Amino acid sequence: MSKQANKTDQYRRRFLSNAAAAATAAVVPGLMLFPVAEARSPTEAVSNKVRWGMLVDATKCVDGCNACVTACNNEHGLEGHNRPATDAQWIRLVHLKDKQTGKETKLPVMCQHCEHPPCVDVCPTGASFKRADGIVLVDRHICIGCRYCMMACPYKARSFVHETLTDQKPDSPRGKGTVEGCNLCVTRVDAGKLPACVEACQQEGEKALLFGDINDPDSMISKQAEKIASRQIREDLGLNTGVRYHGI
């Protein structure tokens, strides 16, 4: 083997290792943006050591983007019937205009996964409940469809299923005559994935949504929440929501 050939091999090795390092350096922070939880084994109980939450950066939520809403509708099979007053909406985009200053803001609103959820307080059967990890959801088996939770929710986060359902998503069963709302894509989260809206915002939007464990001081969401100011919607109610907003 000639000296020249050896040199070529060396260059090639060096190039490949540098390229690999560069690729790693480029990809890892990107991956870090997706603070995926370690998937829980199905036999392991949900623990209150974790509290799932979301940080919404309203300054990044841009006009014309609807990625989170579309992803949610697809994930949960929320079909519209062209009747907006009764069609289910688990997440919606809200446009605000400050009456005094005229400042405009756009942000997604969904179940705020309160620490003290009024919907859970008022539910007569216990169908509305909060998991140990902070996710608020509805047990469709014991919901009697009284809609008291919808009266009680300060965020208008719940929908009543007004229609007969067809072609449901196997991972997100719904029930005619029962109440439903954002469940933080609990099935995906349990499998170690991100909620559909967050994933869509990361991939198609402006990375306005960050999801993670707000109990873990080292999580991306906790670090970001430490850096930027964030608020709860209707802080006055003292519900300690799991969803926080920057820029409102």
Q: Which residues bind another protein (CB under 8 A)?
A: 81, 83-89, 92-100, 109, 118, 120-126, 142-148, 150-156, 158-164, 175-179, 233-234, 237, 248
Q: Is 3 helix (H, G, I), strand (E, B) or coil?
A: helix
Kindly state the smallest distance separating residue 131's Cβ from another protein, in Å.
Answer: 15
Give the residue with the Cβ less far from another protein, 112 or 202. Answer: 112
Q: Quick one: 7 or 156, whose CB is closer to another protein?
A: 156
The least CB distance from residue 148 to another protein, in Å, is 5
Per the rule left: phi > 0, alpha: psi between -120 and 50, beta: everything else, 109 is: beta
Q: How near is the Cβ of 105 to another protein at its closest, in Å?
A: 8
Measure the CA–CA gap between 198 and 200, rounded to whole angstroms. 5
Going from the C-alpha of 55 to that of each of 62, 198, 213, 225, 229, the distances in angstroms are 16, 10, 11, 7, 10
CA-to-CA distance for 47 and 106, rounded, in angstroms? 34
* Burial zone of 13 (CB within 10 Å; 0-12 exposed, 13-18 middle, 19+ buried): exposed
Q: Measuring CA to CA, which residue among 215, 207, 237, 219 is closest to residue 112?
A: 237
> Residue 202: CB partners within 8 Å, gap ≥ 6?
33, 34, 194, 209
Tell me the closest approach of the beta carbon of residue 165 to another protein, in angstroms: 9
Smallest distance, Å, CB 117 to another protein? 11
Residue 220: C-alpha distances to residues 65, 66, 114, 224, 240 (Å): 24, 24, 20, 6, 20
Minimum separation from the CB atom of position 57 to another protein (A): 17
- Rank residues 176 and 207 by Cβ distance to another protein and give the closer one: 176
Our CB check for another protein shows the closer of 21 and 144 to be 144
The answer to whether 115 touches 134, Cβ cutoff 8 Å, is: yes
Min CB(14)–another protein separation in Å: 56
In the DSSP assignment, the letter for residue 231 is B
Residue closer to another protein (CB basis): 118 or 212: 118
| CB count in 10 Å sphere of residue 129 | 16
Query: 109 or 194, CB closer to another protein?
Result: 109
Closer Cβ to another protein, 36 or 146, answer by number: 146
